Structure 1
């Protein structure tokens, strides 16, 4: 593409920005919707199905290669966006997604060790944390911290990427949950980047929403069209959300955000609310396991989706309920962000996490009582 053609495309993009956003959403939705049946056919022909065990949320073998459709769709869209030269950070994202996709695909096929998965996650994270456009060297007054050493910024970004990848992987336990929460978070980022004038990141966010929206149709299916996203899918989604989170943290303070009651010092607090469900669920299970004297990595049924399923909710109801919870947390924080000071917002976030922690503790007890009563009644 010569310079003249590129300028024409960029001018067309600027004049029809909203139309491009709608077009990209439609493209990713349609492409994913087209690719998943192809992936299903290959999976069944080669007998590549997710087995059933005592911790499975399904009772029959189901293909778990939705991530293949995710990878093709997202990388194709990112490649097209790169031709517009909106930013160079997309090259780093494509490389990171490719590394993590290979790690997830191997795990879906033959089960990888935790060490191999962690190595892959760190390798993928390196492509993002050293990207100049995602430079993080200032916390803008969060807990009294302003400028931070460059090495501290790298470690903070690396921790966010690896932690979010794993957190998102953990919530992919029932039909629809990972996709619905991913849509809520990606739409929130779409709005933030739209207001702040970050067109490339708007398109990345809406691409993820479109991909996950199409996937939901098949994930909720009860027939032959049912598919799981698998590790290859959940790891990619977690990585893209981590990428968007790093950009959110790295943005310079600008007027549009301030006019909405946003303060740069509250970025990490806002982030804790945007990413509420994966962060909360991971913290909750780790705390419970440690309280019970178990390893933080011990498998159990203490995830929030398990609590709702044990109460008798269907996968669809549980997933939409948790997605709504994440949306409510974002709404509560946003509605009070231009009223409360930094200290009070910090208290608010801690309070929100504590209240929901207590709520699910009560629901867990309620579910256990219901289960015992059912056993007694069956006798």
Structure 2
């Protein structure tokens, strides 16, 4: 690979843009050509997602699409962004553990506590082993630099929450995949603008985008023979990687004097990161609060997720996913427009807009029912 880079350098070709192009194309093609084989094996071995009370689908569908996503990301990141595995030595080990746990859960359904133990382990690998931590809150609630041990605990909890939150939004076709593409694109653009030191993370973001776009081709298919879900394997993997890129993004703006590493200043960096991941954060907080309000266990499954509410309005999966992604993308634009505002005020605005989006479908549903009742009378 280094000889190839030297060859391109001698001809005045930027290796970075070559990596971007080849990384995207390779990740897309690997996933695209892997999924038909996975679908074939899943149907032959009856490794299918069975419809249940909470399901938004009515037929058995293969749910091992996350294997193709892992396969693609693992290969392409190792080839085109190998520096990442040098910088973060426990990253690949964490992905392997998540693959194993995800596949096991998709096939035989693991107990919740076993998945939690695995999530704690992979989070500890990356937080302690690779020193990927939330070191400062930039003045949120008056908190700046965080004690090392509190930082480790807080970051591990953050990883676990985001892994499971992303798993929870994977309830309708296109939502988890489409949202992960948007998040990866936003983080990738941010890394690109923040300089060459962050280019490996740009390539990682592009690889994720390519892989997930290929998956979405099958996930959004109208033909039963080619349709597939990403399953827990895919949702946990993408949730973990987005949590990883989110924390790396925040870390760029922390004023640490490291050799040959330029530092940048943006006091609202944590809020920008929250805005990018606002959908899984708000959706998870909302369903937990609703369950507690109704005196139910916060871990009890129900249909109070945002996507369930839109389906209740008789929207298709595609339209529901589109409306949700567009609304929460607007929140990112608000966060970016007011990025130099007071960090606490901006956080309140972002969370407020997030919860408004969560309850808009309820308001529309009630207004529609009132109009129907008035018409009938």
TM-score normalised by structure 1 residue count = 0.88
The DSSP-based 3-state class of the residue aligned with 2:61 is coil
CA distance in 2 between counterparts of 1:63 and 1:282 reads: 25
Give the alignment of 1:153-172 within 5 angstroms.
153-172=151-170
Contact kept? 2:283, 2:358, Cα under 8 Å: no
Alignment of 1:341-360 (within 5 A): 341-342=342-343, 346-360=344-358
Aligned residue in 1 for 2:32: 33
Q: Which residue of 1 aligns with 2:312?
A: 310
Alpha-carbon distance, 1:68 to partner: 1.0
Alpha carbons of structure 1 residues 219 and 156: separation in structure 2 relative to 1, 3 Å:
same
Q: Distance in 2 between matches of 1:101 and 1:373?
A: 49
The alpha-carbon deviation at position 94 of structure 1 amounts to: 1.1
Aligned to 1:216: 216
Show the counterpart of 1:23.
22
Matched, 1:206 2:206: yes
Aligned mates of 2:363, 2:133 — CA distance in 1: 45
- CA distance 1:349–1:148, shift in 2 (3 Å): closer
CA contact (8 A) 1:184 1:326 kept: no
- The 1-side partners of 2:53 and 2:108 are apart by 19
CA-CA distance at 1:125 after TM superposition = 0.8
CA distance in 1, matches of 2:130, 2:234: 27
SS of corresponding position for 1:53 = coil
1:198-249 CA-partner distances (Å, limit 9, x unpaired): 0111111111111111111100112110000001111111111111112112
Moved more, 222-231 or 143-152: 143-152
The answer to whether the 8 Å contact 2:51/2:57 transfers is yes
Ranges of 4+ aligned residues in structure 1 off by more than 4 Å: 9-14, 252-258, 368-375
Instruction: Tell me how far 1:131 sits from its aligned partner.
Output: 3.7
The equivalent position to 1:123 in structure 2, one of 117, 121, 145, is: 121
Distance 1:348-1:148 versus aligned 2 partners, 3 A rule: closer
- The equivalent residue for 2:229 is 228
| Residue of structure 2 equivalent to 1:104 | 102
User: CA, structure 1 residues 21+6, in 2 after alignment: closer, same or farther (shift >3 Å)?
Assistant: closer
Taking the TM superposition and a 5 Å limit, the aligned residue runs for 1:267-282 are: 267-282=269-284
Partner Cα separation in structure 1 for residue 59 and residue 85 of structure 2: 45
- Structure 2 vs 1, CA of residues 135 and 285 (structure 1 numbering), >3 Å: closer, same or farther? closer
1:321 maps to which residue? 323
Pick from 271, 274, 292 the counterpart of residue 294 of structure 2.
Answer: 292
Q: Deviations over 1:112-132 (max 9, x none)?
A: 100011011111111210244
Matching of residue 62 in structure 1 with residue 61 in structure 2: yes
Distance 1:79 1:356 in 2: 36
What are the superposed Cα offsets for residues 102-161 of structure 1, whole Å, 9 maximum, x if unpaired?
111101101110001101111111121024452443344443333221111111210111
Rounded to whole Å, the distance in 2 between the matches of 1:106 and 1:235 is 12
* Closer, same or farther: CA 369–135 of 1 in aligned 2, 3 Å: closer
Secondary structure, aligned partner of 1:88: helix
Q: Distance in 2 between matches of 1:220 and 1:202?
A: 26
Q: Please report how far the alpha carbon of residue 19 of structure 1 lies from its aligned counterpart in structure 2 after TM superposition.
A: 3.1
Structure 1's unaligned 5+ residue stretches are none
Q: Deviations over 1:251-280 (max 9, x none)?
A: 24589985xxx61x3222111101010001
CA distance, structure 2, for counterparts of residue 328 and residue 239 of structure 1: 24
Contact 2:89–2:130 (CA<8 Å) still a contact in 1? no
Contact 1:174 1:315 in 2 (8 A): yes
Aligned alpha-carbon RMSD (Å): 2.8
Distance 1:147 1:134 in 2: 15
1:181 pairs with 2:179: yes
For residues 325 and 362 of structure 1, the distance between their equivalents in structure 2, rounded to whole angstroms, comes to 11
Structure 1, 208-217 or 354-363: larger mean CA deviation: 354-363
Contact map agreement 2:165 2:284 (CA 8 A) in 1: yes
Alpha-carbon distance change, 15 to 111 in structure 1, aligned in 2, over 3 angstroms: same
Gaps of 5+ in 2: 256-260
Q: Structure 1 residues 329, 322: CA separation in 2 closer, same or farther (over 3 Å shift)? A: same
Q: Distance in 2 between matches of 1:160 and 1:291?
A: 24
